[in-house]
Amino acid sequence: MPFRRPLYSTDGDLREMTDAMIDHIRGFMAQVYLNDPSVNVQVINSGGNLGQMVDTRLVAGNFVANARRFPSEAETPEPGIVSIGYTRLHRVPYGENTTDPELIRFPVFLNSDGQVQAMSLADMFDTFAIPALASISSTPVYTVHTSNSLGGYNLVSSTPIFQDTRANPAAYSASVMPDTADKPMLIGEYWLHKINSPVTLDTGVSPLFITDRQATGLTARPPHILNTLYRDMVHAAGICLLYTSPSPRD
């Protein structure tokens, strides 16, 4: 669908919104999306729907005792492997209302016949939401870091999403038999962070909307109504965004 230029009212006159007004709304939508994206990621203890990350480490083989002689190398079990799966990342899509059955929820514009007409959902996407998302397409909403503190981001959970371990050779001793086979040491931990992006812009100049289903007039909308509309539009345009689990492995 083509770009639409919504109407607004000034001193009782109908005028088309300027590029600056439209850009302000796009900027507001972009901030709303970064603050509250259409798909959120949570950290849970287990059972997340973003797949499994597997940590593997070596463990010592079992000991063998023989009262008459030293066991041969062939008789002693080899080191084994322990694998621990982490399924702590959980994707949660947010719902949104994109319906406009009475054709009064979306702003109006002048069509090619010079008539006032309500924008369609596709018009809202092409005029506002998609350009808003394009402006932040290279901004990581979520990131994984080896520290639980990261500038410009908020920690999602104090629970790490993954722990990297190794067998600790120094912890084993030939003088202690039998010894615990699995003696790991922690190499590193990974935490999930979400961008810290508070909404600082207001909703801007209100475009005009058809007042009611009887089309008795045009009206501006208050900020709280515009906020809901713009949030729903940018959520709906970004709902196809998917997150996949990183795959750190030993």
Q: Per-residue DSSP letters for 94-145? A: PP-----TTS-SSPEEE-TTS-EEEPPHHHHIIIIIHHHHHHTTTS-SEEEE
* Tens digits of residue pLDDT in 58-115: 887 776 666 676 766 666 767 889 899 999 999 888 777 888 888 899 999 999 999 9
Amino acid residing at 16: E
Provide the percentage of residues in the chain whose pLDDT is more than 90. 62
Contact 214, 98 (CB under 8 A): no
Mean pLDDT of the chain: 87
Q: Is the pLDDT of residue 243 over 80?
A: no
- In this prediction, residue 80 carries a pLDDT of 83
Q: Is the pLDDT of residue 175 over 70?
A: no
Average pLDDT for 118-142 = 93
Q: Which residue, chain included where needed, has tokens 């371990």? A: 165
Average pLDDT for 117-129 = 94
Separation of alpha carbons 16 and 14, rounded Å: 7
Residue 204 to residues 120, 209, 236: CA-CA distances in angstroms? Answer: 21, 15, 21
Dihedral angle computed from the Cα positions of residues 10, 129, 225 and 94, in that order, rounded to the nearest 10 degrees: 180
Q: What is the pTM of this model?
A: 0.80
Provide the percentage of residues in the chain whose pLDDT is more than 70. 87
DSSP 206: P
* Tens digits of residue pLDDT in 146-165: 999 999 999 999 999 999 99
Write phi, then psi, for 133 (nearest 5 degrees).
-65, -35
Q: Which residue has the higher pLDDT, 120 or 98?
A: 120
- CA-nearest of 221, 213, 237 to 100 is 213
224: CB partners within 8 A, 6+ apart: none
